[in-house]
Structure 1
C-alpha cells in the first residue's frame, strides 16, 4: 500500500499539503491525515479524490503514535511521503508566556516531529520523501519569539542531519523555512509582530507548491520568496548580536 502521511492536516500548511500531494503522486493508495480536529479532517476528506484515512488525536500524547505505528505494520505500508506540519508558536517574552505553552511548543514542534519520523523510517524506501515544516525563524535567535525560533532551529538542523544519513538510501529530506504565512497560526501565536511582517506574508498555496517542487528536485531546504531568501543569506554573514538587535526591533522588544 503506497501512502503519504501529513500531520497538522486540519488547517494551514498541513491542510494545503493534503490538497496538493495527490497532484504530485498519482498512484497513492491512501493519504493518512493526523490532527486533533476530527470535524475538519472529515471535511477535508471530502475534498480529496483519493481515499483519506483519519487519525484524530493529540500529538503530545503517546496513543496517537501507537495507533499509527500499528497501522503501518498491519498494512505493511510503503510511505512515499511524510509531511511533519504539526506545530504552533507563541509570541512574547519568555517570562510572560505560560510555561506549559512553552514546553508544549517543544513537545509538538520537536519531540512529536522526531517521534513521527522515527516510526515512519522503517517504511520509507528509495524515492521516499520527508518534508519537515521549519521556519525562517530558525535562521537566528528571536527575542520575543524565543522558544518557537529555537524549536524551528532544531527542526532545520535535524532535517539537515537526517538528509545526510539517508542520502545513500535514496530518501530525500527537505526542511521548509517560510516567513509569515496567511494561516490560523497567528490566532494562537498572538499579534505582537504581525503588523511589521504583514508585507512579507505569503499564501499557503504558494509556499506548499514551492516546498513540493523543491522536494522533487532533491533540495534539502525550501525557502519561499525573495525576502526570506535574503534573510537566510543575512543570517550567514551578519554577526549574531546584530541579528538579535534587528529581531528585537522587528518584534517590538525593548
Structure 2
C-alpha cells in the first residue's frame, strides 16, 4: 500500500541545497509553462477582438499547453523531476516518492511561478489579464469537479506509467512527450466545460491576477483527488514494491 510509505521528511531538508535547487527548477518550469499556455489564450483573444470561444481556439490552447508542458517537464526533469503541477507533486507524495517537506517547497515554487508568469503576461501585453478558469454556464460545479478528477487521474496515471514505474526502461525517455500529449488531449475533451485545468497552480496564477475566485475549489480539490487516486491505483496494481522502498525524486 503506497500510503505506508508516506514520509514527512527531516527538519533540515527544506534548507538543503538540492531541495532548494529543485524548488527553483519547479519555479522556472512553471513560469515557462504558464507563460506559454496562458499567453496563447491571450493572443487568441487579441487576434479575435475578444470574440467568443471557437473550436480553433480550443485546438490552439491544447497545442500550446501540450508543447509548453513537454518543454517544462524536460528542463526540470534532471533537477526536480519536472512535476510542474501541485497535483503531480501530491501524487508523488501519496506514492511515497517525495517527502511532505519537499512537496511543500515544490508547491510554493509552483504557485509563485504561475503568479509571476501571469504578472509578466499582464505587463508584456499592455494590461491584458489572463482569464481565470471558470465553469461553463451549462455545467455545474459538481460536473466540473468530476471532470477534473478524471482528467487529472489520466495525467498522473501517465506520469506513473512513463516516469515513476521502475520497470519503465527506455520508456522514460518519452515521458515528457506522453505527459504533454495527455494534457493536450484532456484540454480538447474538457476545455469547453471548465477550461480543463488539471493543475491547481495553473488556475491559481490567473485567479490572483484577475482576482476571480468563482468555484476555485473545483480546480484544487478535483486535481488533488484525481492525482491521489492515480498514485494509489497504479502503485497497488503495477508497481508492487516493498512497504519501505522509496523511489528517488529524480525518477520523474
- TM-score tier by shorter-chain length is 0.3 to 0.5
Judging by fraction of residues, say which structure has more helix: 2
TM-score after normalising by structure 1: 0.32
Judging by fraction of residues, say which structure has more strand: 1
Q: Which has the higher contact order (CA 8 A, sep 6+)?
A: 2
